[in-house]
Amino acid sequence: KAGVTQTPRYLIKTRGQQVTLSCSPISGHRSVSWYQQTPGQGLQFLFEYFSETQRNKGNFPGRFSGRQFSNSRSEMNVSTLELGDSALYLCASSLAQGGEQYFGPGTRLTVT
């Protein structure tokens, strides 16, 4: 069974731009969560989607948003990028809301 895939793996954007990251969960998994990982802050929870609905949300500004499609694939969007948004963005999927999560390799976003 294929693992969680994330595209693109690397991305360079400039301040003020927006970016969309994609995540394909493990087949059969219906929950997708997104995390931001930075050297200084560690890993921080952004939000979780289950059955196309956001079920859980971390403490990030409204510039960070996401959605989930009927096939459980998910996208997250960051608008008006700031230098501090440079990070590794990780996606994790699980069978249901709650339950063991399986992480993807992440998308490395650099904002210049």
* 58 in contact with other proteins (CB under 8 A): yes
Least Å from the CB of residue 16 to other proteins:
28
Stretch that binds other proteins, among 12-20, 54-62, 64-72, 73-81 (CB under 8 A): 54-62
* 61 in contact with other proteins (CB under 8 A): no
| Choice from 30, 55, 67, 73 touching other proteins (CB under 8 A) | 55
Answer yes or no: are the C-beta atoms of 51 and 40 closer than 8 Å. no
Distances (CA, A) of 92 to 32, 36, 46, 51, 64: 6, 11, 11, 15, 17
